[in-house]
Structure 1
Amino acid sequence: MDRRRFLALSAATAAALPLARAAQAAPLEYKPGLVEERLKAGETVFLDFKASWCTTCAAQERVLDALKAGNPAYEQAITFINVDWDAYGKSDLAKSLKIPRRSTLVVLKGNKELGRIVADTSKGAIQGLMDTALAAATA
């Protein structure tokens, strides 16, 4: 391959990468009633209680993003919802689920909680929770 063709292909590939990332489904932002609506529709819901200033939340987000990038089935089957801790940490949702703090991840299906992680940033734990959600979503 000549240099000109190599550079053209490299530029095209680099331009396409942001488009591929944009195609990934962005998590929904929580608003009252959203979780109930999605659960009634039969969806498996993955809640991420987080704050913009929380370093543990940021570490969890990096792991979540990497896992989603490695397995597109997660985003295809699971409904991810971000819950802003500063706005909704004392909400009826947080109270009903007994959410102790930000950096809490919870999976729900129907009227059941399938699992949760509190302040854990390990890839294995988060992947285990996501696999639980995927299994419920595809069952």
Structure 2
Amino acid sequence: MIRRTFILGLAASAVIPAMPALAAGGFVDYRPGVIEKALAAGKTVFVDYAATWCTTCKAQSRVLAQLMKENPAYAQSMTFVRVDWDDYGNQPVARDRNIPRRSTLLVLRGDRELGRIVAGTSKAEIKALLDKGL
């Protein structure tokens, strides 16, 4: 029994790192290629450049969670990706899109940026950005 549990655990640990982790609130944790793959599949992508220590990011996260709860269509029509600023702030995922800082939210579809918010926490402003993705 112990050997079977060990083998199943070992097999699971080999598969799990290959899958993008689902972050809180239905967000996928960014890994290189995640955004491009979703866009290539014709999906609209909501990207949240955030840091765990950022108070503005936390305020945005609370507003996003509330809006997503109020309108399930957001989660159904978009892929949500959270980019860890500490890990990727100086990487192409931020540089190539001219992301000035953490607490930047943007909506992408195809090869176009539909909108962005930098450091905004207003529910109305974030809702308007989400609505652009519908």
- Deviation readout 1:15-59 (Å, 9 max, x if unpaired): xxxxxxxxx972100000111100000000000000000000000
Secondary structure of 2:39's aligned partner:
helix
CA distance in 1, matches of 2:129, 2:28: 18
1:49 is matched with which residue? 49
CA contact (8 A) 1:45 1:79 kept: yes
Match of 1:38 in 2: 38
Separation in 1, partners of 2:129, 2:65: 14
CA distance in 2, matches of 1:131, 1:108: 12
Other-structure match for 2:118 = 118
SS of match in other structure, 1:102: coil
SS state at 1:62 partner: helix
SS of the residue 1:98 aligns to: coil
- 2:70 corresponds in structure 1 to 70
TM-score (structure 2 length as normaliser): 0.81
Structure 1 stretches (4+) deviating beyond 6 angstroms? none
Contact 2:25 2:65 (C-alpha < 8 Å) held by counterparts: no
1:98 maps to a residue whose letter is N
| TM-score after normalising by structure 1 | 0.78
Q: Percent identity?
A: 55
Q: Matched residue pairs, number?
A: 111
1:25–1:75 Cα contact (<8 Å) kept: no
State the distance in 2 between where 1:37 and 1:91 align.
17
Q: 5+ unaligned residues in a row in structure 1: which ranges?
A: 1-23, 135-139
Verify the 8 A CA contact 1:30 1:82 in the aligned structure 2: yes
Give the Cα–Cα distance (whole angstroms) in 1 for the partners of residues 118 and 51 of structure 2: 14
Per-residue deviation at 1:93?
1.1
